[in-house]
Structure 1
Amino acid sequence: MMRDKFLFSCLIAVFFFAGVSSTTKAQNLISKSKYYVDSEYGNDDYSGKSQKLAWKSLRKVNTQTFTPGDRVAFKRGGKWKGQLLPQGSGTKESPIVFTAYGKGDLPAIAAEGQFKDAILLKNISNIALENLDISNYDASVKAQKTGPTGVRILAENIGTISNIRLSNLYVHDINGDNKKGSNEGNGIFWDCQGPKPSNIENLLIENCKVVKVDRNGIRGNGTFAFRDQWFPNKNLIIRGCTLEDIGGDGIVVKAFDGSLIEHNKLFHIRTRAKDNAVGIWPHSSDNTIIQYNEVAFTKNLDWSNDGQSFDIDGNCNNTIIQNNYSHDNDGGFMLVISDAINAKSKMTTNSIIRNNLSINDGNKRKRLFNFALVTDDTQISNNIFYNSGQDSVRMELIDIEHGVPKNVVLEGNIFAYQGLATGVFAKSAKQYAVLTWTGNVFKGNISGKDQLLNVKQEPVIKKKNLKEFPWSFIKVLNLEKML
């Protein structure tokens, strides 16, 4: 209960940030200056102060230092090759806004591999990007080796930058390297570098579409995420975004204290990477809430690690994963893992996984849950794990490897396997001894339950109150009859 209250307080703080963004929207309309950019009919010798006197190039925009309340509008249907590098910061009440005007397609900014970042927000605060088409595809190479991005937010040797909003962006076609390392490509990326400890506070990413990116959809860098130099970013919201055809990881919450990841849709993640990648996961982050997301078709065709819809990764504390819909993810539903535990990286602790619906997850990797290395205090409650049995698969329900987790409690969950699918407990009773089972229901093809030693309460077979779950399609799947 104390953990929930603490996380609720963090959530209130995050919503306060969101509320500030909304309440200032009307104020933002009253701007100090409005500039127009027209790739076809503009002229850099013009003032830029009207549509008829629009600027033409990104170069002209990049040489202007903007002031609080300024708005820079790119003409819809226009196309610019190069990099947008805004100069100047707004204020919390009067941010600088880069947006679109006119009718037609979103204004397109294409770096084409000539710049590492199509848009770079470096050491500036109170900035909004909205209604832009952003790409960074170099057709001359299979994979760029520069770590190309669509939008990079960089705090470098500055301390804190704050209040950055990315809305209604279409970020696509970034051909970075799909191997983990410095060459990875990213759709949207935050980055903090020193030597002075630097971070980002109040980052909102909403209603963006990220498509065909190698390697990562939305993620960040953790330079100051080590516990011996802990200076985390604060207050992140990622909501209402759609990610499709991502070569590696989907959304990675990196080096944040206080994050809300909700109402996103992720389809076809880890489509080209051969190393570890998951749909949504925090790393080196505290007080993360991941809820009301749909994650589907994450790939794992080579029997490697990962490929799950969700992961609570190393150096994390106080993570809640709740009310999500996960289906058809090759690697399974959930990974819970610690990194090496030392002065830099603490044990992953205080994890809550509740009220999620998992359908047909893990059929290729043949496991549903994976615990790796030593973690502490994981509460798994009131979830539905269902497999319709289209493939003849024996699914390890709880896989434990490379260490023994502590204080894992499974309570009130339903494991339902039918048709050709079988859920199994194939590990030893000694391995399962670390798990505590209270009031769970096993239906259909489940084997090896006699290996479970710590069954504290026999399951109560009663109809699940499906109104507790946020999925309107549950009747269509005919789950009510089965459950």
Structure 2
Amino acid sequence: MRIKIRKKSLSQCILLLFSVLMISCSSDTERCYYMDATNGNDANDGLSADKAWKSLERAKLVTFRPGEKLLLKRGEIFGGELEVTGKGTSAQPVIVDAYGEGDKPCIVGNDTSLYAMRVFNSDYVTVQNIEIVNTGRKPLPGRTGLKVECRDYGVSRNIRIHNLMIRDVNGSLVKELGGGSGIYIVNGGDSVASRFDSLMIENCHILRCARNAMIWSGYYDRSNWHPSKHTIVRNNLIEQVPGDGIVPIGCDSTLIEYNVMRDCPEVLPATEAAAGIWPWSCDNTIIQFNEVSGHKAPWDAQGFDCDYNSTNTLIQYNYSHDNYGGMVLVCDSGERGFSVGNKNSIVRYNISIGDGIRPNETRAGMFSPGIHVAGPVKNTLIERNIVHLNAKPSAAIDRSMIVSDSWNGYADSTFFKKNIFYTAETSQFAMTESTNNHFNDNWYLGNYRKLPSDGTLKTSNVLYQQKVLDVDKNGYQGLYTLMDERQAGGETCHFVNKESIEDFFANME
């Protein structure tokens, strides 16, 4: 009898010990680490607000496991660089977040920091509700606020950047010197090809960052191309950024929607070209429901761009206004080898108001057409767009509606269908030596030096006169009826309504 009882007790003890170990492992994978720049101490274990760590250096010692959190106290300023490496799962992501009450916790980079925060070689990591500042005493080429990087790693999955304020990053204003950015996404590696899958950047506010807002650096050579896939960039507000806004590089199947870029300062050197939202070395990019305004780059400065080494770029339902350049650039450098050119771009259902107002000479003289097609792009479709060119502030400003010119070659097979071209002053179409331009069923409202060959061209429309020009000759009030007001970065902005603009074109017939 005693032996039976002892065996039973031993069995119960083993089960109890196993349960304790399981509970301990479960607790470990859900633990939170706290940081408090004022009252913390790096000698603490960091596992409660009362025993928080103090410095960002202490957090570098941790590789975060599934379900773990790193929490920064609100209202605190943390100096230095925060390094995060986490191995979460879909069910238990690693989370970097804020705790307490008050303003977002703020990470401020050192004087020579190339980044204030980096997420490196990670999976299923969410970073949210944090402010990032990286201002040195002088501009530093390549400086960024947040760097998201995978190198010699393989596939970095499901990194989510949410509700960050990234501001006052003083990188270089010159692209060739390394530029600078609010967010910098880097993938590469020689021993292990590395890329991102399902990276998401949403609800962030990027303010006063030089040179760019968010830009990628990845594999661009088509002989060694390992594209990041399924990226989503959504509902971000970009303000007072002088260069490029959102530029995926080396990506496939990227969705960029409901973002706003506005109020770009006129500070870039005369050599610099930049635009709002555009892909390079990318396939199957969708850019939709975005607003870009006030871009003042010395060259380009369009709201949107279908750039080269890319195929199947779709730009639709966007709003471009008051940019020095026009609504859109479609271009190909003519270089081959690493590049596949620019093929099958589609630009449709976009609205441009008051673009093309560059007051200064460019490398090509006074140049700011509403639509610019440059180089040997192939099979481009531009349809059902509204390009409303207002009176220009000075007589010297370019008044061209469309220019298709050379960049080591000319465009071939460009289709312009059912677009509304309105000009308040005499405009022109300069197709130069481009070939197989097909203009079909467009409206040409206003005066033009010479109209392109269009078998079904129309020079007046009662609906546009009544709904737009009679309401406001500058187009804003009338065309706002085709848009929704929606929040981006806490600000009310205008986004094209898909059903409204499609119905408008249907009723134009």
Fold agreement, TM-score > 0.5:
yes
Q: Could you report, residue by residue, the CA deviation over 1:145-204 in whole angstroms, capped at 9, with x for unpaired residues?
A: 3x1111111111122111100000001111111111353111111112220321111110
Q: Which residue does 1:13 correspond to in 2?
A: none
Q: Which residue does 2:102 correspond to in 1?
A: 104
- Among 161, 167, 173, the residue aligned to 1:172: 167
- Hey, what's the Cα distance between the residues in 2 that align with 1:126 and 1:426? 50
Does the 8 A contact of 1:119 with 1:152 survive in 2?
A: yes
Q: Which residue does 1:356 correspond to in 2?
A: 350
- Among 231, 240, 244, the residue aligned to 1:236: 231
Q: Which residue does 1:81 correspond to in 2?
A: 79
- Shifted more, 431-440 versus 38-47: the winner is 431-440
Q: Which residue does 2:439 correspond to in 1?
A: 437
Q: Which residue does 2:10 correspond to in 1?
A: none
Q: Could you report, residue by residue, the CA deviation over 1:337-396 in whole angstroms, capped at 9, with x for unpaired residues?
A: 113332310010111111111001112143111111101111111111112325345511
Q: Could you report, residue by residue, the CA deviation over 1:30-65 in whole angstroms, capped at 9, with x for unpaired residues?
A: 971112111111122222222112111111111122
CA drift of 1:432 comes to 6.3
Does the 8 A contact of 2:427 with 2:447 survive in 1?
A: yes
Give the unaligned 5+ runs of structure 2: 1-27, 359-366, 468-478, 486-493
- Among 379, 383, 391, the residue aligned to 1:381: 383
Q: Which residue does 2:195 correspond to in 1?
A: 199
Matched, 1:457 2:450: no
Matched, 1:59 2:69: no
1:242-321 residue pairs with structure 2 within 5 A? 242-269=237-264, 271-274=266-269, 275-300=272-297, 304-321=298-315
- Hey, what's the Cα distance between the residues in 2 that align with 1:31 and 1:406? 58
Matched, 1:213 2:216: no
- Hey, what's the Cα distance between the residues in 2 that align with 1:337 and 1:321? 14
CA drift of 1:247 comes to 2.7
Give the structure with higher Rg (CA).
2
Q: What letter corresponds to residue 251 of structure 2 in structure 1?
A: F
Does the 8 A contact of 2:85 with 2:121 survive in 1?
A: no
Q: What letter corresponds to residue 463 of structure 2 in structure 1?
A: K
Q: Which residue does 2:43 correspond to in 1?
A: 45
CA drift of 1:307 comes to 1.0
Does the 8 A contact of 1:63 with 1:87 survive in 2?
A: no
Q: Percent identity?
A: 33
- Hey, what's the Cα distance between the residues in 1 that align with 2:184 and 2:265? 17
- Hey, what's the Cα distance between the residues in 2 that align with 1:166 and 1:286? 23
Does the 8 A contact of 1:270 with 1:307 survive in 2?
A: no
- Hey, what's the Cα distance between the residues in 1 that align with 2:227 and 2:217? 11
The number of residue pairs the alignment matches comes to 435
Q: Which residue does 2:6 correspond to in 1?
A: none
* TM-score, reference length from structure 1: 0.85
Does the 8 A contact of 2:250 with 2:282 survive in 1?
A: yes
- Among 337, 340, 348, the residue aligned to 2:334: 340
Q: What letter corresponds to residue 346 of structure 1 in structure 2?
A: V
CA drift of 1:96 comes to 0.5
- Hey, what's the Cα distance between the residues in 1 that align with 2:131 and 2:177? 25
Does the 8 A contact of 2:242 with 2:296 survive in 1?
A: no
Q: Which residue does 1:331 correspond to in 2?
A: 325
Specify whether residues 340 and 442 from structure 1 end up closer, same or farther in structure 2 by C-alpha distance, changes over 3 A only: closer
Q: What letter corresponds to residue 37 of structure 2 in structure 1?
A: S
Specify whether residues 327 and 119 from structure 1 end up closer, same or farther in structure 2 by C-alpha distance, changes over 3 A only: same
CA drift of 1:248 comes to 1.4
Specify whether residues 170 and 361 from structure 1 end up closer, same or farther in structure 2 by C-alpha distance, changes over 3 A only: same
Does the 8 A contact of 1:98 with 1:129 survive in 2?
A: yes
Give the unaligned 5+ runs of structure 1: 1-29
Specify whether residues 427 and 379 from structure 1 end up closer, same or farther in structure 2 by C-alpha distance, changes over 3 A only: closer
CA drift of 1:271 comes to 3.4
Does the 8 A contact of 2:412 with 2:435 survive in 1?
A: no
Q: Which residue does 1:415 correspond to in 2?
A: 421
CA drift of 1:423 comes to 2.2
Q: Which residue does 2:374 correspond to in 1?
A: 372
Q: Note the aligned Cα RMSD (angstroms).
A: 2.4
Does the 8 A contact of 1:276 with 1:305 survive in 2?
A: yes
Does the 8 A contact of 2:89 with 2:124 survive in 1?
A: yes
- Hey, what's the Cα distance between the residues in 2 that align with 1:211 and 1:271? 15
- Hey, what's the Cα distance between the residues in 1 that align with 2:326 and 2:457? 26
Residue 60 of structure 1 aligns to a residue whose secondary structure is helix
Q: Which residue does 2:361 correspond to in 1?
A: none
Q: What letter corresponds to residue 397 of structure 1 in structure 2?
A: M
Does the 8 A contact of 1:242 with 1:265 survive in 2?
A: yes
Does the 8 A contact of 1:424 with 1:447 survive in 2?
A: yes
Q: Could you report, residue by residue, the CA deviation over 1:297-324 in whole angstroms, capped at 9, with x for unpaired residues?
A: 0004xxx431111111110111110111
Q: Could you report, residue by residue, the CA deviation over 1:429-478 in whole angstroms, capped at 9, with x for unpaired residues?
A: xx3653211111011233321xx23x242338463697994446799xxx
- Hey, what's the Cα distance between the residues in 2 that align with 1:317 and 1:113? 41
- Hey, what's the Cα distance between the residues in 2 that align with 1:89 and 1:107? 23
Q: What letter corresponds to residue 463 of structure 1 in structure 2?
A: L
Q: Could you report, residue by residue, the CA deviation over 1:269-307 in whole angstroms, capped at 9, with x for unpaired residues?
A: 36322311101100000010001111000004xxx4311
Q: What letter corresponds to residue 345 of structure 2 in structure 1?
A: S
Specify whether residues 308 and 270 from structure 1 end up closer, same or farther in structure 2 by C-alpha distance, changes over 3 A only: farther
1:103-142 residue pairs with structure 2 within 5 A? 103-139=101-137, 141=138
